Amino acid sequence: MLREGRPLTLIEISERLGKKPKTVFRSLRKLFEEGKIDSDPRTRTYRLAEDGE
């Protein structure tokens, strides 16, 4: 879903996946640590990292 191009919030991702935000956040944190996604602390959104495609 992050390949769609538009950055998404934790809540948007959670709703689309039908999972609790806490569960999704753990997965997002791992992807962030691996450099696969980027996050914007100002807007609290996540997007696919430039070289994470």
Tens-place pLDDT, residues 16-51 = 999 999 999 999 999 999 999 999 999 999 999 986
Mind giving me the DSSP string for the chain?
A: -GGGSS-EEHHHHHHHHT--HHHHHHHHHHHHHTTSEEEETTTTEEEE-TT--
What is the pLDDT confidence band of residue 7, given thresholds at 50, 70 and 90? very high
Q: Is residue 41 part of a domain?
A: yes
- Overall domain count for the chain: 1
* Assessment of whether the complete model's pTM goes beyond 0.95: no
CATH number at residue 31: 1.10.10.10
Q: Is residue 33 part of a domain?
A: yes
Inside any domain, residue 53: no
Residue 29 domain-assigned (yes or no): yes
Per the structure, the complete domain to which residue 34 belongs is given by 2-48
Is residue 18 a part of any domain in this protein?
Answer: yes
